[in-house]
Every structure is written in C-alpha cells, then in structure tokens.
Amino acid sequence: GAVVSQHPSRVICKSGTSVKIECRSLDFQATTMFWYRQFPKQSLMLMATSNEGSKATYEQGVEKDKFLINHASLTLSTLTVTSAHPEDSSFYICSASGGAGNSNQPQHFGDGTRLSIL
Amino acid sequence: SQKIEQNSEALNIQEGKTATLTCNYTNYSPAYLQWYRQDPGRGPVFLLLIRENEKEKRKERLKVTFDTTLKQSLFHITASQPADSATYLCGTGRRALTFGSGTRLQVQP
C-alpha cells in the first residue's frame, strides 16, 4: 500500500531555532501534499496545501513566513518552522494521496513529528 | 465551511460488543466521508470511504453508514477487541480533509 514517511519523528530544540520536517511519498508520486497540526486531544487542523513546483496555499491564520513549505519533487515536501517559539510546540502531520488530492481518494498520513520548543 | 462534529467523550465498551461512533456534518452534504483510526503519537490510518449515494459500506468487522437526511455517518465495529482501542476520526472535504475532533474508543477485555 501507499506509504508516507515523515522525518524526524521528534524534535526538541531551543527557542529561536529553525526546524525542518520532511514528508516523503515512498511508493507513489504526490503532486499535492497536505500539512496538518494537532494539539493534544484535538482534531487535525489543516495548515497548508503543498503543490509540487508551485507555491503552497496557506489556510487563514497560518503565517507563510513562519511555516515555509517547499515541494521540490513529486515525492518530497518539507515544512520549515522558522525561529520556533514555545507556542509552536505541537504535533505536525503530513499527508498525500495517489490522486490529485481530491477527497474521493484516501489520504495516506505520515507518522507525525512531535516538536517541542524549550 | 464544513464543520464535522464527533462525540468527544470516550466510548467504553466490553470486548465482543459492537461499538458505534457518530459523525455529524453541519453544512453541505459532502460527496464523500472518510473514517480513520489514530493511535497515540501516530498519524491517522485510512479505514473506509463512503460516497453520498452509498447507504452502507463494509470491510471485515467495520461498517459505515451515510444518512444525508440526518447529515450523519455512523461507524460500527462488530465483535470489538481490545486492539480496536484507538481514536477514530471522521473527515470530509473537496480536497484537503476537515476532521472532527475524534472519538476515543476503549474496549475492555
């Protein structure tokens, strides 16, 4: 089945550090990937849609200069949290589908990245 | 925008019983609803997708229904097992998914 790999699984770093999270589709090509954020006991909240070869589309309230997204190939999207602060601590999850990102296709999720900013 | 509502209270049932989880949507009738399982510290795993014109979908011990009149989907796990304990998410969307908050299921041995 379709596999999405996310790395790293856990990051602990000091305030002000920039952190890069990678999301790879291992056995399929993904023109579209999605980045979500999840707080404890809450739902996944969509942050942005990552489009291969073009700019990401950010949801309202998500700072594009804070959360940099790059989708340079059909199998890799990266999320960089720039100058991270404690309020950025969260669980970040990416997903992709084998299709064009339509809701008639199941989403395949990575295992998430637990980011903790001290 | 679409809002998905799931019972945020945990559901505790005895092993062997049928678990029933509810998902309600508030606005337009979605073309599809998807159900996922999420274990602690892990990403969601796809379980079932049901289309608007499908009343019911089954996969092994899982069954999903879609009632456009009630704006509701029900997710059933028959002959539940302790290994079924997890949080179950309902989601829909035209492209990216909007999820409910999930319902935590605890199956007691």
| pLDDT one-digit tens code per residue, B27-64 | 777 888 999 999 999 999 999 999 988 989 999 999 99
Determine the pLDDT at residue B104: 96
Q: Do B97 and A46 touch (CB under 8 A)?
A: yes
Percent of chain B having pLDDT more than 90? 74
In this structure, what are the phi and psi dihedrals at residue A14, rounded to the nearest 5 degrees?
-80, 155
Q: Rounded mean pLDDT of chain A?
A: 91
Report whether A27 contacts A19 (CB < 8 A): no
Percent of chain A having pLDDT more than 90? 72
Res. A40 pLDDT band, cuts 50 70 90: confident
Owner of token pair 């980011």: A115
Res. A98 pLDDT band, cuts 50 70 90: low
CB-defined contacts A:B, below 8 A: 67
Q: Do B42 and A112 touch (CB under 8 A)?
A: yes
Determine the pLDDT at residue A53: 85
Q: Which residues of chain A are at the B interface, by a Cβ-Cβ cutoff of 8 Å?
A: 4, 6, 32, 34, 41-44, 46, 49, 91, 93, 95, 101-104, 106-112, 114
Q: Is the pLDDT of residue A1 over 80?
A: no
